[in-house]
Amino acid sequence: MANNPLLLTFRFFLMVITVALLSACAKKMPPTSAPLNDITTTATAQRTTAPDKMTESKFWNLMEKRLTFIQEGHHGPIIYDFTDTNCPYCHLIYATEAHLIREGKLTVRYVPVAIIKPSSMPEAAAILQATNPIAALQYDEQKIGNSMATGAHAALPHATDAIGKASPKTIEAIKEIEVNDHFLREINVNELPDIIYLPKKCKLCLITGYISHKQFLVILPQLK
């Protein structure tokens, strides 16, 4: 399947579209050593030109078909949140989003990626191949939160057969995560956290870096 000419053509086309739509909206992630109260993220993005015959909505639909994600919430605007289990800022954003999800103000599609540590892949694969991926994600996030509060290591579930002779279920999960990872490389993003959203008055936008609850509340009215 990896050598299918149609698939390769689609990937190339998607890469061109993604860069055109997102490059003008990208923001760099602050250094991880910066205090959280000093971190700011600019949510305002300039307009960019979409490729011929490719609207924001059509590209948004392409993301939905291509990426593997775990959706939490069914009310409010949708955002895509690229997350790695070894990214502390990803957890802080998750905690903020959880409140907005419970309040019915936001729907988040969590896109698991594995780019920070070798353990990221087996941890992400364990979440995706779980019987209930949402519950598995919530369990891991709770463990990560406890670890950050106590300083203890977070022992997260692993797909233990991710290396060597993996089960078909694990192989499928790894392939899905690799596609998610590849998507970030295509849009030239190598830092986390990353959120992609669709504003009412702008093209698709990308935020790379920590975003606070207050900043989320500023962005929410702008989302479709």
pLDDT of 139: 96
Reply yes or no on whether the pLDDT at 161 is more than 90.
no
* pLDDT category of residue 53 using cuts at 50, 70 and 90: low
What pTM value is reported for the model?
0.77
CA distance to 121, 177, 185, 198, per residue, from 96 (Å): 24, 24, 26, 19
pLDDT tens-digit readout, 57-90: 787 888 999 999 999 999 999 999 999 999 999 9
Contacts of 138 (CB under 8 A, 6+ apart): none
Closest CA to 95 of 132, 143, 139, 145: 145
* pLDDT category of residue 26 using cuts at 50, 70 and 90: very low
Reply yes or no on whether the pLDDT at 27 is more than 50.
no
Kindly report the number of other CB atoms within 10 A of residue 18's CB atom: 22
